[in-house]
């Protein structure tokens, strides 16, 4: 009796993930790149919750909890790195920090 098919939710997750990936590739400001990473992690969690809700299991929500804690850890370390980059280079441009020629 699913009135909205599952692939609609997965399509939304895919669109959000693609938007986050586009932002990550296009923007050169480190803060915007971190924000795009947040969008991508959120979209991945949305796909898990949609699948778990479709089958009536709680496992999808638990995986979202793990993704949530991982995103919190990632963003705290990332923002501390942003502070260090700004102190050392006086800029937030990701290309200006490529000392390793990566």
Q: Which residues bind another protein (CB under 8 A)?
A: 1-4, 6, 8-9, 12, 15-16, 19-20, 22-23, 26-27, 29, 31-32, 34-36, 38-39, 42, 46, 49-50, 52-54, 56-62, 64-66, 68-77, 79-84, 86-87, 92
DSSP helix/strand/coil, 90: coil
Q: How far is the CB of 100 from another protein (least distance, A)?
A: 18
Torsion of CA 19, 21, 27, 28, to 10 degrees: 170
Q: Would you say 19 or 94 has its CB closer to another protein? A: 19
Measure Cα distances from 26 to 6, 41, 48 in Å.
30, 18, 27
Q: Would you say 77 or 96 has its CB closer to another protein? A: 77
Question: In the numeric block, which tokens belong to residue 61?
Answer: 């929500």
Other beta carbons within 10 angstroms of residue 23's beta carbon come to: 17
Q: Would you say 73 or 95 has its CB closer to another protein? A: 73
Q: How far is the CB of 54 from another protein (least distance, A)?
A: 5
Q: How far is the CB of 10 from another protein (least distance, A)?
A: 11
Cα separation, 4 vs 53, in Å, equals 12
């Amino acid at each position: 009796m699913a009135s909205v098919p599952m692939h609609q939710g997965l399509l939304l997750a895919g669109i959000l993930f693609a938007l986050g990936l586009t932002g990550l590739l296009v923007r050169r400001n480190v803060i915007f790149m971190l924000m795009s990473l947040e969008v991508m992690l959120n979209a991945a969690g949305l796909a898990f919750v949609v699948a778990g809700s479709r089958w009536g299991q709680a496992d999808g929500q638990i995986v979202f909890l793990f993704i949530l804690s991982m995103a919190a850890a990632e963003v705290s370390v990332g923002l501390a790195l942003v502070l260090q980059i700004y102190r050392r280079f006086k800029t937030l441009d990701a290309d200006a920090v490529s000392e390793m020629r990566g």
